[in-house]
Structure 1
């Protein structure tokens, strides 16, 4: 799904002319390719063929309702980490039975709502959570279905802020603690504890950590089975990386599936995978206008109308995103720019010393690989309204999120003219 050359030279994405698109919808603008998303989910489904496997899309990557509906049409379920994500998934037509609820801090209200909706499974991350699910399920007179999220203590070889499978991370429990839960599961009569779950991190470009973690998961599954515990589901998590820059090689779906097939050979239950970024990241771009070019003492700054509030990843993770100038770049002089936004933070920087075709005020650029953790992490910092989002499909587009206006941004604010006693 390498689109940089296509977008830069032709000015089109998914058959849509991007200059004409922004003339109608403005910038900053998120644009997503429906064909690219379908291609990815179908590739993963083909790779998993022959196994009793289900895809549970990680909603946190991009929770736009139109994206969720597209994935639901392709047969994907949802991996959620909040009650809000559950509501998004259900409204998009994802069956409750195809939703798994992960996350280290589920509230009682979220657990109760999930039980009321009949979600397929909880991924349990602490003894306190297990006790809470038992208490709430007992009050409802129902049985919750749950998996233990184990922490296999494997270095995912990714950015520290998105590594989740090491012993010092907040996620999951040790295999020793999980073993104790299974041995004492009679203490939780309203929880059917019959699954295992892991997720070691995000943006994994090497499958070696996955292989190691799967081996530890498989050994534990076999140990539990030998002890008489019925394991109906093994959720291997997500985290597959994508290509953000030239030279990076993203894992292949078939190689990934082969690891799962080998590690879990003989498992008769249901296997779940939780891709998020891998399905949508490269299917999205953030379109932005050049506001001005500023020449500093040591740097040439390309100032865009998009900012860190629109796309936080470069500021938060020092993440690289390819950036292309839209239009005919043939024979253009290439210059080095620090590509920045207008937010009042030095961290509002998309790229440093990035070589691009010469840009002028008014030029259109595309920040690539923005389909995941872009709009979903956006904010209104500096009182900047949220960007619009569009879905592109075979030469046409649909507006799937209106550009937020100022009135909408402040709609929930109130003057302090109604004082109350606590």
Structure 2
């Protein structure tokens, strides 16, 4: 997270002190670095050199319009999983012909809209979905571009909730059944076979599962070619992990080079999400109360599981840094817990910190699956989002108000 650092003992986002940001926009608060987003995307894009490719940002990781706009301006494609995500991309200046549409439950409305705006490709997850796309395309008298997502039964060795490439997972088509589905698509006058898709999971920190899956996918490509079914691109998904603590992560250039050594002239599509925005964001929260008993030391903060769900959901780890480095308070191993009425409402446990009431803390590496997974549980308004660019900062999502919580609800008048 090179764009988040201490300057004069105060944590900064690029050249702006986080103390200035919370004074301006209040707490809790999501803060994003524009420079970090751009740098991370270019790391993927530049690794391909002149080889045909498209880097599609996985919108589910962070769907803020400003984030999407930053990426659209530098030429990113997008991986969407709902009509809402597609519409966000279009509103942010992204192009439909640089979007792939993933997801296991595409509705008729979503398929119609994607065809209307000229989607680059549907990543098809089942035989029934292929039938539905064909029916919609036939009714509209168009050809739908399709790619079959195959499940290679490769263990990504990641958290079970974010593993997607095993037979026990809901995603994709069994790789052994894919040939028949491709033949069906190839025979249809309303389907246009474009590629082959494979995504095995998220937060993967070892390159070997990716390459194992690629070998299986390339064997399938050869089998399809022998039947006269040509594949124009390989979509290898996303899933490259980031450093939350001291993990060994994958070198992007080395990974891409290993892929290109195997794929010949095939165009490659990648769908990184977390790897682009994860370390481009932090979540800042304030210590409201300190509470200690014989067993535990609790720092009760104004951020909660509804704001940053990952720790409660996955037992995920986020490094926690004091916004003011020289803060001196009570030294203890603190559990950082929120105001939600759930024992599972924690953002970190057993962290050695020196804390005082009123201190601000930054949860690092919170740019992915932070705000996008937030909710209004316990009738808590969702927090504001801010983007920093060098020494300037912009509010890119207003903090919700109490009125926002129920302005679309109605009382029955008996």
- Would you call these one fold, judging by a TM-score over 0.5? yes
1:325-356 C-alpha deviation (Å, 9 max, x unpaired): 11133887742101111111111111111111
- For 2:342, the equivalent position in structure 1 comes to 345
- For 1:106, the equivalent position in structure 2 comes to 106
Q: Could you tell me whether the CA contact under 8 Å between 1:8 and 1:325 is conserved in 2?
A: no
Q: How many residues align?
A: 414
Gaps (5+ residues) in structure 2? none
Farther-moved stretch of structure 1 (175-184 vs 164-173): 175-184
1:214 and 1:259 map into 2 onto residues whose CA distance is 10
- For 1:127, the equivalent position in structure 2 comes to 127
1:16 and 1:170 map into 2 onto residues whose CA distance is 43
- For 1:148, the equivalent position in structure 2 comes to 148
- For 2:254, the equivalent position in structure 1 comes to 255
2:392 is equivalent to residue 393 of structure 1? no
2:378 is equivalent to residue 379 of structure 1? no
Alpha carbons of 1:60 and 1:259: their partners in 2 closer, same or farther (altered >3 Å)? same
What SS does the corresponding residue of 1:122 show, helix, strand or coil? strand
Shift of 1:50: 2.6
1:374-397 C-alpha deviation (Å, 9 max, x unpaired): 000000000000000000010110
What SS does the corresponding residue of 1:150 show, helix, strand or coil? strand
Alpha carbons of 1:5 and 1:296: their partners in 2 closer, same or farther (altered >3 Å)? farther
- For 2:21, the equivalent position in structure 1 comes to 21
2:4 and 2:121 map into 1 onto residues whose CA distance is 39
What SS does the corresponding residue of 2:378 show, helix, strand or coil? helix
- For 2:400, the equivalent position in structure 1 comes to 404
Q: Could you tell me whether the CA contact under 8 Å between 1:131 and 1:188 is conserved in 2?
A: no
Shift of 1:263: 2.4
1:54-112 C-alpha deviation (Å, 9 max, x unpaired): 01100000000000000001110110000000000111111110010000000111111
1:185 and 1:283 map into 2 onto residues whose CA distance is 40
Q: Could you tell me whether the CA contact under 8 Å between 2:388 and 2:394 is conserved in 1?
A: yes
- For 1:197, the equivalent position in structure 2 comes to 197
Q: Could you tell me whether the CA contact under 8 Å between 1:4 and 1:322 is conserved in 2?
A: no
What SS does the corresponding residue of 2:9 show, helix, strand or coil? helix
What SS does the corresponding residue of 2:355 show, helix, strand or coil? coil
1:325 and 1:86 map into 2 onto residues whose CA distance is 37
Q: Could you tell me whether the CA contact under 8 Å between 2:3 and 2:36 is conserved in 1?
A: no
Which of the residues 320, 323, 326 maps onto 1:326?
A: 323
Shift of 1:398: 0.3
2:34 and 2:203 map into 1 onto residues whose CA distance is 22
Gaps (5+ residues) in structure 1? none
RMSD: 1.6
What SS does the corresponding residue of 2:151 show, helix, strand or coil? coil
2:226 is equivalent to residue 226 of structure 1? yes
1:198 and 1:284 map into 2 onto residues whose CA distance is 28
1:401 and 1:317 map into 2 onto residues whose CA distance is 26
Shift of 1:269: 3.5
1:20 and 1:5 map into 2 onto residues whose CA distance is 15
What SS does the corresponding residue of 1:336 show, helix, strand or coil? strand
- For 1:213, the equivalent position in structure 2 comes to 213
TM-score, normalising length from structure 1? 0.95
Q: Could you tell me whether the CA contact under 8 Å between 2:5 and 2:14 is conserved in 1?
A: no
Q: Could you tell me whether the CA contact under 8 Å between 1:4 and 1:324 is conserved in 2?
A: no
2:327 and 2:229 map into 1 onto residues whose CA distance is 65
1:236-271 C-alpha deviation (Å, 9 max, x unpaired): 1000100011x212211102201211221x2x3421
